[in-house]
């Protein structure tokens, strides 16, 4: 068995009085592609945001490679080798594609490494290279998602967190993005994928959790899709 890369224990978090996560336990091993599915408002995004320090947990802990990262700031967490792809294709719309990627490598000091990484991202997403000097606001939805993911690849992270990458994309673009996510995972990066589109997510994952109202309702492998409850609730057949 490969080493545990992420362990979330009894995580509770919320916004002010509103408790969104009511004790979540999640585990990922190196090289896993973990899908976290669940309906709107179940706490999926809050969960992924807590890993990255964007939401402060009120209870429980998060361990990355055995080190406690609970309560750290996002700009500290990125130094551990974790990157984050936010929901809604939040690229820097006033900046060019190239500048967006540069910002992805903000914590790297060596400019030649940044250049190298940028070329790798362009090789992975050739469409971005063609648009390198355009402002991100002029990209299509799919291209913005590529840029958002490309930006998170600049650091060659050990683990990448993706928050609803399918949201608002056309079906074709969605398929493309999910193929890329699978490739990223095959190249050795652990992927934590929060997704409302259960079909897509379960097709590429090797481990899955179902969140409902702030609790883990089900967990299992890819075959979780065969469970009657998941079929009824999320797969619609």
Partner 1 sequence: MPLINQLLANGLIAGAIYALMASSFSLIFNIVKFMDFSPGAIYVLAAFAAFFFNIVLGLNFFVALILSLIIVSLAAIVINKSVYKPIRERKGSNFILLLASFGVFLIVTGIILLLFGAQVKTFGLPIEKGYDIFGALITKTQILLIVTSLVLFFFLQLFMKTTKLGKSMRAVADNREIASTLGINVEKTITITFVIAAILAGVAGILVGIEQNIEHSMGFIVVIKGITASIVGGVGNVPAALLGGFLIGIVENLGILFLPSGYKDAIAFLILIIFLLFRPQGIFGVKTREEVSG
**Binding-site ranges for partner 1 (CB under 8 A):** 40, 52, 54, 73-75, 77-79, 83-84, 86-90, 92-95, 99, 102-104, 106-107, 137, 151, 164, 167-168
Give me the least distance between CB of 180 and partner 1, in Å please. Answer: 20
Query: What's phi and psi for 102, nearest 5 deg?
Result: -55, -40
Shortest Å, Cβ 141 to partner 1: 9
* DSSP per position, 124-175: HSHHHHHTTTSBGGGS-HHHHHHHHHHHHHTT--SEEEEE-TTTT--HHHHH
Nearer Cβ to partner 1 (83/190): 83
| Closest to partner 1 by CB, 32 or 102 | 102
Give 8's DSSP letter: E
Beta-carbon contacts of residue 130 (< 8 Å; ≥ 6 apart)? none
DSSP one-letter code for 234: I
Nearer to partner 1 by Cβ, of 103 and 229: the residue is 103
User: Shortest approach of partner 1 to residue 15 CB, angstroms?
Assistant: 11
Q: Which is nearer to partner 1, 21 or 77 (CB)?
A: 77
Residue 1 CB neighbours (<10 A): 5
User: Rounded to the nearest whole angstrom, what is the least distance from the CB of residue 220 to partner 1 in the complex?
Assistant: 27
Residue number with CB closer to partner 1 (45 or 207): 45
Quick one: 14 or 86, whose CB is closer to partner 1?
86
Query: Residue 109: is it exposed, middle or buried by C-beta count within 10 angstroms (0-12/13-18/19+)?
Result: exposed
Q: How far is the CB of 107 from partner 1 (least distance, A)?
A: 4
The alpha carbon torsion through 185, 209, 104, 138 (nearest 10 deg) reads 100
- Nearest distance in Å: CB 13, partner 1: 16
Name the residue nearer to partner 1 (CB basis): 38 or 207.
Answer: 38
Rg value, the chain, Cα:
17
Contacts of 115-121 with CB under 8 Å at 24 or more apart are 117/153, 117/154, 117/155, 117/156, 118/154, 120/153, 121/150, 121/153, 121/154
Smallest separation, CB 23 to partner 1 (Å): 25
């Amino acid at each position: 068995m490969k080493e545990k890369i992420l362990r979330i224990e009894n995580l509770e978090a919320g916004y002010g009085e509103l408790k969104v996560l009511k004790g979540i336990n999640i585990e990922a091993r190196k090289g896993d592609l973990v899908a976290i599915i669940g309906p709107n408002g179940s706490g999926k995004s809050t969960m992924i945001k807590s890993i990255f320090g964007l939401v402060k947990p009120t209870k429980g802990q998060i361990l990355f490679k055995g080190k406690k990262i609970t309560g750290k700031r996002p700009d500290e967490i990125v130094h551990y080798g974790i990157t984050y792809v936010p929901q809604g294709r939040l690229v820097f719309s006033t900046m060019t594609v190239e500048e967006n990627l540069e910002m992805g490598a903000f914590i790297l000091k060596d400019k030649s490494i940044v250049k190298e990484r940028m070329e790798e991202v362009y090789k992975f997403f050739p469409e971005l290279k063609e648009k390198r000097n355009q402002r991100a606001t002029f990209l299509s939805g799919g291209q913005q998602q590529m840029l958002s993911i490309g930006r998170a690849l600049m650091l060659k992270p050990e683990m990448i967190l993706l928050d609803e990458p399918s949201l608002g994309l056309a079906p074709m673009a969605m398929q493309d993005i999910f193929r890329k996510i699978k490739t990223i995972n095959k190249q050795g990066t652990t992927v934590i994928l929060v997704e409302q589109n259960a079909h897509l997510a379960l097709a590429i994952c090797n481990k899955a959790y179902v969140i409902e109202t702030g609790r883990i309702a089900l967990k299992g492998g890819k075959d979780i899709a065969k469970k009657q409850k998941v079929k009824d609730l999320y797969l619609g057949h």
